[in-house]
Amino acid sequence: MENEIEVQEDRAKVIEVFADGVLIEIQKSGSCKTCAISGVCGGPNRSFTHRIKTDLPLEKGDIIEISISSGVKLLSSFIVFILPIFFMIFFYFLAKFLFELSENFAILLSFSSLLLSGIAIYLLDKKFARKIHFEIIGKVKK
């Protein structure tokens, strides 16, 4: 069997049509329903918009199926959940062994690094948010 990355499908609503694409509002459904941590990314009422280039004949109000690779979702989860742990461990060892601080100060610096990891996640989100590409699978029949 080939090493294929599973693609998750979600639904989105077209809220604006342009000459070269559409602006969509992504509604939480599909993979969000089965995700154990779906509340972390904004809760059940949160939606967000994204612009997609397409030549499909879509109209405002159309519901479409979109996909994003599981690899992108996995990378996002890694950044949000694992990166802060790496920051904590790195800053602990940095304080304890390089600067030879006491255990208490090393732990305090380790927990303080969570703020730095939050800033890093925020900056990464701003830098790469528009580089994530959704693919339109098709229009949902009414």
Measured CA to CA in angstroms, residue 22 lies from 5, 28, 51 at distances of: 26, 19, 6
pLDDT at 126: 85
Task: Give the neighbor-by-neighbor strand order of the sheet with 21-26.
Answer: 48-53, 21-26, 7-17, 63-69, 135-139
pLDDT at 1: 45
Whether the pLDDT of residue 8 is over 70: the answer is no
pTM of the shown model: 0.66
Lowest-pLDDT choice from 46-50, 63-67, 114-118, 121-125: 46-50
Token duo for residue 40 = 């972390």
Measured CA to CA in angstroms, residue 44 lies from 20, 28, 39, 63, 129 at distances of: 31, 7, 7, 19, 20
- 67 domain residue, yes or no: yes
- 62 domain residue, yes or no: yes
Domain that holds residue 44: 7-139
Q: Is the dihedral of CA 100, 105, 107, 109 positive or negative?
A: negative
- Structural domain tally of the chain? 1
- 61 domain residue, yes or no: yes
pLDDT at 132: 79
- 1 domain residue, yes or no: no
* Angle formed by the axes of helices 103-128 and 83-93, nearest 10°: 140
Q: What tens digit of pLDDT does each residue of 15-33 get? A: 999 999 999 998 665 556 6
Rounded to whole angstroms, the Cα distance separating 120 from 103 reads 25
**Residue 4: band (very low, low, confident or very high) from pLDDT cuts 50, 70, 90:** low
Token duo for residue 92 = 């602990």
What is the average pLDDT value for the chain, to the nearest integer?
84
The average pLDDT across 94-120 equals 95
- 58 domain residue, yes or no: yes
**Residue 101: band (very low, low, confident or very high) from pLDDT cuts 50, 70, 90:** very high
- 2 domain residue, yes or no: no
